[in-house]
Amino acid sequence: MAIVAPSAPCLELDDFTRADELCRALGWEPVPGRHLRERAGYLAGTDDMRLADLNAALGDDRIDGVWCIRGGYGMTRILDAVDMEAVRRRPKPIIGYSDITALLNGVTTVTGVVTFHGPTARAAMPAFSRRHFERAVATPAPAGRLERLPLADILVPRENRIVPLLPGVAEGPLFGGNLTLLQCLIGTRFFPDLEGAILFLEDVGEPLYRVDRMLAHLRAVGALARLAGVVVGRFTEMKREMGDGVFGFDEVLLQYFGPLRLPVAYGFPVGHIADQWTLPLGVRARLDAGAGELELLEPAVR
């Protein structure tokens, strides 16, 4: 398993140790990129360094998978030079989230190869995350219905609730990830075809009005018009910064998705949280928004 840093650098030595130990705990041999520990300002080395490590991993037949050690910022600077032909020739799992959303959607859109929105290699992996990670990445069978976070009390913590916003059932290929990065891909060849798709979204540290603005941009380019359904994950550390009134997050979601009359639920374990699902992009899924359930209908690996 190649460990690469195509975006921001790790600032703690323990991140590298954890990535190595986590790989071995999963039964994989970690292969750190040549420039994994480099830093260039807020980037994990220069563009050439980060691209070299990523393309080397994609083109090496001895490497069975590519795991990004963290997100941050920087993937969009090198996305247009990623070796897509190497991905087509020798498909392998590419794993990460947040800033890595650009790489995942770009690869799956251009090559048709399934990629994985899941934990980064430096993160601790609780049992809930590990079960979903291994089912998606290492099992050549459909993962089936994804389990929800265990609820220890009748009074369910707000952050653990899955809220049916617009009940209904939909099937389609999964695409999505970090909303900010999806917006960055608009107008490029890396933006996914969302016709008939189930779109999943998450973000961190974005004020509600900016989430609103990004959804408005997606709507303006027609990206929302032909969706099959929407899985809204966690928008952690969301701020309300407008002084002239406040919408609720559910109100904003309804304003964009209500007129489309498609199944939508929010609060799924997707995003900048410890207990998270691993979702394969490009795999057909079934969303039951009323029940707050998502089911993977196809295997992600063979």
Q: What is the pLDDT of residues 6-64, one digit of tens each?
A: 999 998 999 999 999 999 999 999 999 999 999 999 999 999 999 999 999 999 999 99
What local confidence, expressed as pLDDT, does residue 156 receive? 45
pLDDT in tens, 136-174: 998 877 767 898 876 544 444 455 689 999 999 999 999
What local confidence, expressed as pLDDT, does residue 158 receive? 57
Q: Is the pLDDT of residue 264 over 80?
A: yes
> In this structure, are 114 and 17 located in the same domain?
yes
Q: Mean pLDDT lowest for which of 7-16, 190-199, 212-221, 238-247?
A: 238-247
Domain boundary among 137, 158, 176: 137
> In this structure, are 183 and 114 located in the same domain?
no
> In this structure, are 279 and 198 located in the same domain?
yes
> In this structure, are 98 and 163 located in the same domain?
no
Range of the structural domain that residue 211 is part of: 144-296
Task: Pick 84 or 299 by higher pLDDT.
Answer: 84
What local confidence, expressed as pLDDT, does residue 242 receive? 65
Percent of the chain with pLDDT over 90: 85
> In this structure, are 247 and 264 located in the same domain?
yes
Provide mean pLDDT across the span 117-141: 91
Domain boundary among 137, 172, 191: 137
> In this structure, are 201 and 220 located in the same domain?
yes
The answer to whether position 301 is within a domain reads no
Three-state secondary structure of the chain: CEEECCCCCCCCHHHHHHHHHHHHHCCCCCEECCCCCCCECCECCCHHHHHHHHHHHHHCCCCCCEEECCCCCCHHHHHHHCCHHHHHHCCCCEEECHHHHHHHHHHHHHHCCCEEECCCCCCCCCHHHHHHHHHHHCCCCCCEECCCCCCCCCCCCHHHCCEEEECCEEEEEEEEEEHHHHHHHCCCCCCCCCCCCEEEEEEECCCHHHHHHHHHHHHHCCCCCCCCEEEEEEEECCCCCCCCCCCCHHHHHHHHHHHHCCCEEECCCCCCCCCCCCEEECCEEEEECCCCEEEECCCCCC
pLDDT, mean over the chain = 93
Provide mean pLDDT across the span 127-133: 93
Domain boundary among 137, 156, 184: 137
> In this structure, are 121 and 217 located in the same domain?
no
Task: Give the confidence band of 241 by pLDDT, cuts at 50, 70, 90.
Answer: low
The answer to whether position 302 is within a domain reads no
What local confidence, expressed as pLDDT, does residue 16 receive? 96
What CATH code is carried by the domain that includes residue 219?
Answer: 3.50.30.60
Q: Is the pLDDT of residue 239 over 90?
A: no
What local confidence, expressed as pLDDT, does residue 154 receive? 43
The answer to whether position 192 is within a domain reads yes
- Count: domains in the chain: 2
Task: Give the confidence band of 244 by pLDDT, cuts at 50, 70, 90.
Answer: low
Q: Which residues are known to be catalytic?
A: 98, 202, 272
What local confidence, expressed as pLDDT, does residue 302 receive? 80
> In this structure, are 133 and 152 located in the same domain?
no
pTM of the entire predicted model: 0.94
What CATH code is carried by the domain that includes residue 101?
Answer: 3.40.50.10740
> In this structure, are 35 and 93 located in the same domain?
yes
Q: Mean pLDDT lowest for which of 73-87, 100-114, 124-138, 178-192?
A: 124-138
